[in-house]
Structure 1
Amino acid sequence: MLTYEPDDTFAHRVDPRSKLAVQIGFAATALAHTSPRALVVLSAVTALVMATARVSLRRTLVAYRMALFVLVLAPLLAGVTLGPPWFDRSAAVASGLASYRVLLILLVSAAYVRSTPVRASRAAIQRTIPGKPGQLLGLGVGLVFRFLPVVRNDLRTIREAMAARLGTERGAVERASTIGILGLTRAFDRADRLSLALQARCFAWNPTLPPLAFSRVDYPVLAVAVVLGLSTLY
């Protein structure tokens, strides 16, 4: 699971608002430009972003293995036809290029997750989007980053418990339904405990968040974000 890791990389020193701007610009550019030449340039940008945050490509691909399975399967399904020639290569190639663009966006987001604390992400969102909408969105982002690893650990515990009780000998449908039902039950239980904990701690809509300030390293990053945004117009 990808999480924030303290470090002294260039990406760690950049303001989270600048990193969010780069992510938005990169995603817009990746969706706007679909040619192979554009994907080569975007691949180079992705490699540079991952290097600035010292993100391990192997660890990232392992963390995204379920998403990778879907991205690999999509072109195969897109190319299948119900009649001759039975497989449409042009449709498969178009779907494959789309899957590759999504993969690049995921890799750039991995660099953001590794280099940005959850509180800093919440502060960036709340100070960019004013009022209750920003506070609600910031709270949602913070809860998602904290809640997903816990749910994932619960699912792993359920799978290990089933394997210890020879659950692997059951049918695939029965195993999936058991893991799904138990996983949802634990998720709802944790949500109830989280709600009670927030009430016990006098949950506030506007907590004291870490200070954010642009520095000299942010200006080239913001320039890259602007260039990426403008590239969608050409």
Structure 2
Amino acid sequence: MLTYSPGDSPIHRLDPRSKLCFQFGFAIAALFSSGPRLAALFVVAALAVSVTGLSPLRALWSYRVVLVVLAIAPLIAGFTPGPPWFRLDRAAESLRAVARVVPILLLSAAYIRATPVRETRAAIQRTIPGRAGQLLGTGVALTIRFVPVLREDVREVRDAIAARGGDRRPVHERAGRLVPLSIRRALARSDELAVALEARCFAWNPTLPRLQFSRPDYLVVGAAVVLTVSPLVSG
């Protein structure tokens, strides 16, 4: 599971707002790229992940469930209910679309690795004014912190079922045990979270870390603008 890891890499030192801007521009460029341009974006994303101290292969492994789902898409797109049963042109078109998502996932892994949750919340709340920004910032912060806990609970439930011989049962029986127990754990965690927030006097507008652009941040934002308009220029 991808989580923030303290470090002193150039990406760690960037302002979270410039990193979010670059992610936006990068995603726009990736969705409208193909061939050598898409390969170049792959290289940029892989370098960004490596700079944060994370292996690109390990980052992709963290997204293995998403990648498996994406890999199924070309098979579904190429299938036809009659002869020739499978159309390579449709499958290839879907595969190109799937390939554009992979560098975006890689770059998001670099962001998660190099950006504390509090800084992400501060960036959102200071970019989007009012209660909407507070709600979005709080939701993102809680989601980033809560999802790894839920995944660990599901893993513990699965291991407990396997320890009792449940892994030898049919898939539907295992799912019938895993899903209800996981949901029960998630509901219990949500109750614990609500109590913890109340006990800590949860505030909509807490004292957030100070954010300040440096010279590299302006360069990153400039690169984000170039990436954002690149599909229009190439078109």
TM class, shorter-chain normalised? over 0.9
What residue in structure 1 maps to residue 28 of structure 2? 28
Which string of whole-angstrom CA distances, capped at 9 and with x for unpartnered residues, describes residues 76-96 of structure 1? 121111111111111111111
What residue in structure 2 maps to residue 10 of structure 1? 10
Q: Structure 1 CA distance, aligned partners of 2:92 and 2:64?
A: 21
Of 94-103 and 149-158, the range deviating more from structure 2: 94-103
Q: Structure 2 CA distance, aligned partners of 1:41 and 1:59?
A: 20
CA shift, 1:170, in A, is 1.2
51 and 169 in structure 1: CA distance in 2 versus 1, 3 angstrom threshold: closer
Compute the TM-score of the two structures, normalised by the length of structure 1.
0.96
CA shift, 1:65, in A, is 1.0
What letter matches 2:118 in structure 1? R
Q: Structure 2 CA distance, aligned partners of 1:48 and 1:168?
A: 40
What letter matches 1:229 in structure 2? T
What residue in structure 2 maps to residue 69 of structure 1? 68
Once the two structures are superposed, the pairs formed by residues 3-152 of structure 1 within 5 Å of their partners are: 3-33=3-33, 35-152=34-151
Q: Structure 1 CA distance, aligned partners of 2:176 and 2:92?
A: 34
What residue in structure 1 maps to residue 170 of structure 2? 171
CA RMSD in angstroms, aligned pairs only: 1.2
CA shift, 1:134, in A, is 0.4
Q: Structure 1 CA distance, aligned partners of 2:232 and 2:181?
A: 48
CA shift, 1:127, in A, is 0.5
Once the two structures are superposed, the pairs formed by residues 144-223 of structure 1 within 5 Å of their partners are: 144-223=143-222
Which string of whole-angstrom CA distances, capped at 9 and with x for unpartnered residues, describes residues 161-219 of structure 1? 00110001111011112111111111111111111111121111000111000112212
The percentage of counterpart residues that share the same residue type is: 55
Q: Structure 2 CA distance, aligned partners of 1:186 and 1:156?
A: 11
Answer whether contact 1:13 1:217 (CA < 8 A) is retained: no
Of 198-207 and 111-120, the range deviating more from structure 2: 198-207
Aligned residue pair count: 233
Q: Structure 2 CA distance, aligned partners of 1:149 and 1:47?
A: 23
CA shift, 1:72, in A, is 1.2
Q: Structure 2 CA distance, aligned partners of 1:32 and 1:67?
A: 21
Unaligned runs of 5+ in 2: none
